């Protein structure tokens, strides 16, 4: 019986064990065969990992390679509520992040105590089940390395306070990121746009060229162990990222800086609604500067509350230009043979239809059309444009100059403007378009139109992109080839119009543009003052213009005889109701033109009258003496140049040294308008005298004064040749033969000029001979006749 019972138990246990093994084998079969693929895939997913290899966004630089937008390392601040609550560091973490990031304490309290949200209909929370990872946005999102270092210093202090080791996690970590960085901050911000913290481009070049700039992210796939460490023998798969294309703008950062500083001064003084400035090379239509005020810093774009501050007014602003538009009417009249500068007309007022159009200056009576241009007479232009050229022909010129159509510059949001006046329009509308009313234009159209006059009559497509660079192949694609849209006037007409526009600036008694006059440079231009309609409609009822709201502007170029730069300067609604284009825009346009021409190295060509006038001003200490020379001695030459550029002062380096040994004018000296600072970088006793050919007498005197070299002159005007001699004490003396301004500019013979290179009266003979000598005149006295030194003792200016 007992045996039978044991057998039954054995059989039962054996059956159970057998059944267990059958179930186990079946389960294994099910998992490994039936569900084999699923579990293999699950395992691969667990031991496989991948990382995104971020493509670098293409850089944006200026025309000289100066970086304007680049990718740079950034760090996002992350809090770990589970660690913070384990460590008991909630108060300290909140204090650190509130102090360094400026985040509200109550918000931080919520972040450091955040829990997981459960997958349930109620979205319930489990007590103590804290989230692992919470980003501190927006203030802690993509911070820079300096701010990260400050927070890390606080973390180290907290570890010591809590008695933790150097690597202990206290609940604040940093996630490595890439952030778009704008090294020049506000410089050209409205041109560039920005990339937000989510990597999305907004406005400007960043948005317009997103497909080129963004690149394609890569990926690396590898196998890891349970701790996340990459397995040494495992295979990895890499898909390399493709970096974005780099873009080089036509913008010149230095000229952009000059324009921005001028716009900032206007904005602060007149508190207008906005300021827009464009500078361009009229011969190529490369945009050298494009400025908007108010502006913003792309690095802190979230601080900008008004969305309109992000707009680029150069292409998105439409306005009635007023008298700057008279350039088109003048060009049409000259081209059609209707403009006689000496012909007379009755100024003051003219009745057209049921409207009476007035001049600003109403008591001038009968004057010439040239004086009407210089005084910006509306009556003169109604007669020229409507009565002589005719509305139909004038509107053809307006369209040919590019108004009413987009320029297709490489910027987003460009508007075409409007031009709705025809022969069937009311007579008052036909009349008012001749002086810039009943037409809406954009700043970029204005700069293109004035450039067409400056370059000989060719309307060119404006460019703001110089080139694109492929980072994979190194291929550079040029983007700013000169593209002629059409010829609008003949070269002969362009030259004539330039001459007339130059008189608008150079007539210091009557020219409305006289505040843009620059001694030594021939400037052509036109001012504009356009009242705005009460409704804000650019083509509103003419009786609805608001005399308290206006757009004032200046458009022009220099030098008038060989243009290097064209400028458009507009101020929208200055706070001075009496402000005009001549009093507000012209002086600041002059500032940009003067600084830019000096920066470009365009030599001044003073007329004899200007030389005499400026010399008198220099001696009398009048208002031209308005700049104080900074102290540059002992500075590195590059640092000295950077300082002068920042202050908008022109300079010339003498010698090839690396540090400034002496300067002229001396530190603290008063400088007259347009004067250069000369930087001596070599021992003056050992230096050769520079070649002074082509310089004005004033510049030559300044350079030689710096070298302690006496000077003797023959003639007046500009240096045409030079000879180096020595006086009886062995001191160096330079004899300069000068040509008149007219001879220098036109190439005509100057009967008073004697070339020192072939011998002349100004060169002294050897005092040891019996030959008759001539005593040359020197500033401050005379020098004795001496032997001429070899001409080879002339060194070029650097």
Last residue of a domain, one of 151, 181, 209: 209
User: What is the pLDDT at residue 786?
Assistant: 29
Is 98 a residue whose pLDDT tops 80? yes
User: Looking at the structure, do residues 648 and 731 belong to the same domain, yes or no?
Assistant: yes
| Reported confidence tier of residue 16, pLDDT bands at 50, 70, 90 | confident
Select the more confidently predicted residue: 755 or 528: 528
Q: Strand ranges (DSSP E) for 224-339? A: 237-239, 246-249, 274-281, 286-293
Last residue of a domain, one of 600, 633, 668: 600
User: What is the pLDDT at residue 733?
Assistant: 85
Tell me if the bond preceding 752 is cis, omega within 30° of 0.
Answer: no
Local structure of residue 276 (DSSP, 8 states): E
Last residue of a domain, one of 184, 209, 234: 209
User: Looking at the structure, do residues 549 and 646 belong to the same domain, yes or no?
Assistant: no
What burial class does residue 770 get, using C-beta atoms within 10 Å of its C-beta: 0-12 exposed, 13-18 middle, 19+ buried? Answer: exposed
Q: Tell me: the pLDDT tens digits for 306-355?
A: 888 999 999 999 999 999 999 999 999 999 999 999 999 999 999 998 88
User: What is the pLDDT at residue 768?
Assistant: 33
SS3 of 495-516: the string is HHHHHHHHHHHHCCCCCCCHHH
Query: Directed axis angle between helix 697-706 and helix 608-620, to 10°?
Result: 50
User: Looking at the structure, do residues 456 and 512 belong to the same domain, yes or no?
Assistant: yes
Q: Using CA atoms, how far apart are residues 642 and 660, in angstroms rounded to an integer? A: 13
User: Looking at the structure, do residues 362 and 498 belong to the same domain, yes or no?
Assistant: yes
Is 524 a residue whose pLDDT tops 80? yes
User: Looking at the structure, do residues 573 and 639 belong to the same domain, yes or no?
Assistant: no
Within a domain: 38: no
User: Looking at the structure, do residues 622 and 571 belong to the same domain, yes or no?
Assistant: no
User: What is the pLDDT at residue 222?
Assistant: 61
Is 742 a residue whose pLDDT tops 70? no
Is 265 a residue whose pLDDT tops 90? yes
User: Looking at the structure, do residues 699 and 785 belong to the same domain, yes or no?
Assistant: yes
Q: Tell me: the pLDDT tens digits for 411-430?
A: 999 999 998 888 889 999 99
- Residue 627, Cα to own-chain centre: how many angstroms? 25
| Reported confidence tier of residue 292, pLDDT bands at 50, 70, 90 | very high
User: What is the pLDDT at residue 622?
Assistant: 46
For range 290-307, the mean pLDDT: 91
Q: Using CA atoms, how far apart are residues 408 and 485, in angstroms rounded to an integer? A: 11
Within a domain: 321: yes
Most confident of 39-53, 126-140, 175-189: 175-189
For range 6-14, the mean pLDDT: 76
Within a domain: 483: yes
Q: Using CA atoms, how far apart are residues 482 and 286, in angstroms rounded to an integer? A: 9
Q: Using CA atoms, how far apart are residues 497 and 515, in angstroms rounded to an integer? A: 20
Lowest-confidence segment of 11-25, 547-561, 634-648 by average pLDDT:
11-25
Most confident of 122-131, 312-321, 744-753: 312-321
* pLDDT, averaged across the chain: 81
Within a domain: 706: yes
For range 662-688, the mean pLDDT: 79
User: Looking at the structure, do residues 523 and 663 belong to the same domain, yes or no?
Assistant: no
Within a domain: 125: no
Q: Tell me: the pLDDT tens digits for 245-261?
A: 999 999 999 999 999 99
Select the more confidently predicted residue: 227 or 103: 103
Under a CB-based contact definition with an 8 Å cutoff, are residues 135 and 76 in contact? yes
For range 512-535, the mean pLDDT: 87
User: What is the pLDDT at residue 226?
Assistant: 53
User: What is the pLDDT at residue 236?
Assistant: 67
User: What is the pLDDT at residue 778?
Assistant: 30
User: Looking at the structure, do residues 678 and 634 belong to the same domain, yes or no?
Assistant: yes
User: Looking at the structure, do residues 89 and 200 belong to the same domain, yes or no?
Assistant: yes
User: Looking at the structure, do residues 173 and 258 belong to the same domain, yes or no?
Assistant: no
Under a CB-based contact definition with an 8 Å cutoff, are residues 115 and 129 in contact? yes
User: What is the pLDDT at residue 30?
Assistant: 66
Within a domain: 25: no
Q: Tell me: the pLDDT tens digits for 173-209?
A: 888 888 899 999 999 999 999 998 888 999 999 999 9
Q: Tell me: the pLDDT tens digits for 185-194?
A: 999 999 999 9
Q: Which two tokens stand for residue 246?
A: 């780099």
* Domain boundaries, position 73: 54-115+130-209
Q: Using CA atoms, how far apart are residues 600 and 279, in angstroms rounded to an integer? A: 13
3-class DSSP assignment, residue 716: coil
Q: Which two tokens stand for residue 411?
A: 């910027």
For range 470-493, the mean pLDDT: 92
For range 61-76, the mean pLDDT: 90
CATH at 86: 3.90.1310.10
Q: Tell me: the pLDDT tens digits for 589-625?
A: 999 999 999 888 888 776 656 666 655 555 554 444 4
Within a domain: 326: yes
Q: Using CA atoms, how far apart are residues 60 and 463, in angstroms rounded to an integer? A: 15
User: What is the pLDDT at residue 48?
Assistant: 60
For range 535-561, the mean pLDDT: 74
User: What is the pLDDT at residue 377?
Assistant: 94
Within a domain: 595: yes
User: Looking at the structure, do residues 320 and 410 belong to the same domain, yes or no?
Assistant: yes
For range 626-652, the mean pLDDT: 82
Percent of residues, the chain, with pLDDT higher than 70: 80
CATH at 569: 3.40.710.10
- Based on the structure, what is the number of domains in the chain? 3
Is 49 a residue whose pLDDT tops 90? no
Q: Strand pairing of 484-487 and 458-460?
A: antiparallel
User: What is the pLDDT at residue 764?
Assistant: 33
Is 126 a residue whose pLDDT tops 80? no
Q: Tell me: the pLDDT tens digits for 105-121?
A: 888 888 878 775 443 33
């Amino acid at each position: 019986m007992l045996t039978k019972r044991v057998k039954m138990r054995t059989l039962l246990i054996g059956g159970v064990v057998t059944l267990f093994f059958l179930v186990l084998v079946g389960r294994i079969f099910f998992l490994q065969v039936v569900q084999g693929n699923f579990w293999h895939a699950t395992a691969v997913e667990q031991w496989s990992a991948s990382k995104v290899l971020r493509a670098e966004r293409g850089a944006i630089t200026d025309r000289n390679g100066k970086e304007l937008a680049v990718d740079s390392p950034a760090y996002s601040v992350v809090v770990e509520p589970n660690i913070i609550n384990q460590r008991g560091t909630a108060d300290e973490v909140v204090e650190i992040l509130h102090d360094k990031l400026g985040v509200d304490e109550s918000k931080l309290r919520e972040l450091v105590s955040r829990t997981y949200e459960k997958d349930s209909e109620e979205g319930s929370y489990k007590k103590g089940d804290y989230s692992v990872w919470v980003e501190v946005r927006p203030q802690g999102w993509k911070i820079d390395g300096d701010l990260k270092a400050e927070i890390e210093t606080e973390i180290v202090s907290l570890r010591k306070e809590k008695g933790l080791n150097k690597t202990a996690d206290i609940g604040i970590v940093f996630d490595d990121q890439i952030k778009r960085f704008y090294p020049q901050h506000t410089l050209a911000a409205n041109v560039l746009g920005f990339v937000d913290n989510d990597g999305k481009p907004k406005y400007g070049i960043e948005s317009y060229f997103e497909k080129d700039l963004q690149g394609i992210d890569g990926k690396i796939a590898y196998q890891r162990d349970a701790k996340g460490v990459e397995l040494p023998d495992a295979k990895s798969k890499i898909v390399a990222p493709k970096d974005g294309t780099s873009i080089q703008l036509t913008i010149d950062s230095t000229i952009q800086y000059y324009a921005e500083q001028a716009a900032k001064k206007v904005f602060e003084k007149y508190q207008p609604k906005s300021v827009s400035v464009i500078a361009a090379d009229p011969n190529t239509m490369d945009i050298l500067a494009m400025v908007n005020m108010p502006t913003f810093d792309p690095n802190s774009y979230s601080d900008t509350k008004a969305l309109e501050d992000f707009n680029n007014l150069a292409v998105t602003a439409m306005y009635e230009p007023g008298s700057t538009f008279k350039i088109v009417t003048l060009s049409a009249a000259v081209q059609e043979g209707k403009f006689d500068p000496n012909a007379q007309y009755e100024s003051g007022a003219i009745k057209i239809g049921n409207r009476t159009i007035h001049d600003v200056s109403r008591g001038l009576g009968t004057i010439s059309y040239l004086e009407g241009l210089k005084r910006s007479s509306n009556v003169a232009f109604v007669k020229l444009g409507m009565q002589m050229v005719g509305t139909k022909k004038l509107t053809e010129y307006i369209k040919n100059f590019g108004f009413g159509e987009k320029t297709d510059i490489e910027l987003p949001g460009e508007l075409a403007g409007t031009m709705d006046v025809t022969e069937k329009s009311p007579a008052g509308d036909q009349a008012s378009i001749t002086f810039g009313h009943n037409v809406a234009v954009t700043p970029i159209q204005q700069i293109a139109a004035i450039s067409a006059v400056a370059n000989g009559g060719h309307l060119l497509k404006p460019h703001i992109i110089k080139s694109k660079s492929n980072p994979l192949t190194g291929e550079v694609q040029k983007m700013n080839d000169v593209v002629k849209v059409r010829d609008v006037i003949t070269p002969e007409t362009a030259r004539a119009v330039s001459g007339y526009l130059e008189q608008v600036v150079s007539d210091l008694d009557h020219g409305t543009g006289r505040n843009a006059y620059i001694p030594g440079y021939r400037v052509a231009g036109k001012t504009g003052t356009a009242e705005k309609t009460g409704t804000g409609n650019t083509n509103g009822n003419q009786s609805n213009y608001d005399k308290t709201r206006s757009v004032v502007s200046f458009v022009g170029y220099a030098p008038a005889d060989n243009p290097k730069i064209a400028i458009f300067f507009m101020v929208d609604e200055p706070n001075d109701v009496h402000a005009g284009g001549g009093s507000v825009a012209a002086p600041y346009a002059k500032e940009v033109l003067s600084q830019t021409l000096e920066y470009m190295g365009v030599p001044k060509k003073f007329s004899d009258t200007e030389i005499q006038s400026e010399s008198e001003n220099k001696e009398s200490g009048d208002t031209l003496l308005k700049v104080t020379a900074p102290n540059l001695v002992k500075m590195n030459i590059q640092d000295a140049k950077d300082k002068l550029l920042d202050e908008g002062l022109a300079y010339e380096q003498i010698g090839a040294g690396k540090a400034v040994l002496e300067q002229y004018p001396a530190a603290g000296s008063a400088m007259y308008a347009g004067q250069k600072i000369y930087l001596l970088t070599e021992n003056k006793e050992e230096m050769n005298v520079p070649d002074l050919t082509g310089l004005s007498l004033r510049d030559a005197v300044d350079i030689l004064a710096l070298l302690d070299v006496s000077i003797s002159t023959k003639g007046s005007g500009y240096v045409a040749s030079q000879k180096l001699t020595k006086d009886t004490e062995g001191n160096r003396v330079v004899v300069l033969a000068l040509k008149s301004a007219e001879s220098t500019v036109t190439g005509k013979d100057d009967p008073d000029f004697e070339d020192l290179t072939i011998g002349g009266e100004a060169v002294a003979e050897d005092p040891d001979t019996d030959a008759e000598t001539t005593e040359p005149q020197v500033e401050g006295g005379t020098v004795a006749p001496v032997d001429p030194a070899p001409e080879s003792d002339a060194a070029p200016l650097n």
